[in-house]
Amino acid sequence: MFLRRLIGVLGLLCCSFGYSQDAKEILKKVGEQYGAAKPLQYKVTYNLFKDFDAKKVEETYAGVFYKNAQNDMYTKIGNTETLNTKNVNVRVSHPEKAIEINKPIPNYKGDLDIKALLEMCKIEKCTDLKSFWEITLKTNSFTGLPYSKIIVRVSKTYFIQKQVFFYNAPSNFSKDYRKPDSHYPRLEVTYSNFSRNPVSASVFNSQNYFTSSGGKIVLSQQLKKYEIVDQRNVANNN
> What is the CATH number for 8?
2.50.20.10
pLDDT at 19: 36
pTM of the full predicted structure?
0.83
pLDDT at 103: 94
Q: Per-residue confidence of the chain (238 residues) as pLDDT tens digits?
A: 555 555 554 543 333 333 345 888 898 888 889 889 999 999 999 999 999 999 999 999 999 999 999 999 999 999 999 999 999 999 999 999 999 999 998 876 655 566 676 778 888 899 999 999 999 999 888 778 888 999 999 999 999 999 999 999 899 998 888 999 999 999 999 999 999 999 999 999 999 999 998 889 999 999 999 999 999 876 555 5
Query: How many angstroms separate the first and last alpha carbons of the chain?
Result: 31
Domain hosting 146: range is 2-237
Cβ count near 26 (within 10 Å) = 20
Please give the tally of structural domains in the chain. 1
Residue 77 sits at φ, ψ, to 5 deg, of: -120, 110
Alpha-carbon distance values, 53 to 104, 148, 167, 198, 205 (Å): 39, 14, 12, 38, 42
